[in-house]
Chain A
Amino acid sequence: KAGVTQTPRYLIKTRGQQVTLSCSPISGHRSVSWYQQTPGQGLQFLFEYFSETQRNKGNFPGRFSGRQFSNSRSEMNVSTLELGDSALYLCASSLDSSKNYGYTFGSGTRLTVV
């Protein structure tokens, strides 16, 4: 059974540009969450989507946004990139409400902003 697939694996962008990251969850999983990992702040929650609706949002500026499609695939967009947005972005999928099933993570997208 295929795992969580994130594309692309690596990205280099220039300050001020925007970027879109993609996540395909495990088949049948309806919950997709996004996390940012940096050496200084560790792993921080960005947002969660369930059945195409954003169910929860972390404490990030409005430049970070996302969406989920009817097939549960999710995209995350960051506009007006800043140097501090350089990070490993991880996507996690879960079967349903996540309360009893736990999360499975993808391999991540390494974003470098120059």
Chain B
Amino acid sequence: KQEVTQIPAALSVPEGENLVLNCSFTDSAIYNLQWFRQDPGKGLTSLLLIQSSQREQTSGRLNASLDKSSGRSTLYIAASQPGDSATYLCAVIDRGNKLVFGAGTILRVKS
């Protein structure tokens, strides 16, 4: 059974810092990995989708990497801003064609 773990569970940083969020999964037989952002009480906003054949994806200040063999992905946020404060969720798309989510990392960026 696929399990996804995110570390750290919570993170508080001053504005301007570069930061890394970690995601690990137990079964490397995944199709894709997707990072999402969730603001309190809201739905999920897709940040980056990494297909299983790719090693990384970039969008603006965000960069996500994928290492299937080790079962790891990282989300790098450059020059963090207070508007980046949210919960960040990592999810793998498994062979059952469903998303398996981690518990998320709650990020707070202080101004």
The chain A residues found within 8 Å of chain B, CB to CB, are: 6, 33, 35, 42-43, 45, 48, 55-56, 58, 88, 90, 92, 97-108, 110
The chain B residues found within 8 Å of chain A, CB to CB, are: 31-32, 34, 36, 41-46, 49, 51, 89, 91, 93, 96-104
- Decide: A48 near B97, CB < 8 A? Known: A43-B89, A110-B41: yes
How many Å lie between the Cα of A14 and that of B35 in the bound state?
35
Interface of chain B, main secondary structure? strand
Interfacial chain B residues near A108, Cβ < 8 Å: 42-43
In order of increasing CB-CB distance, the 8 nearest A-B pairs are A102-B49, A105-B44, A43-B101, A107-B43, A99-B31, A45-B98, A105-B43, A108-B43
What is the CB-to-nearest-CB distance from A34 to chain B, in angstroms, rounded to a whole number? Answer: 10
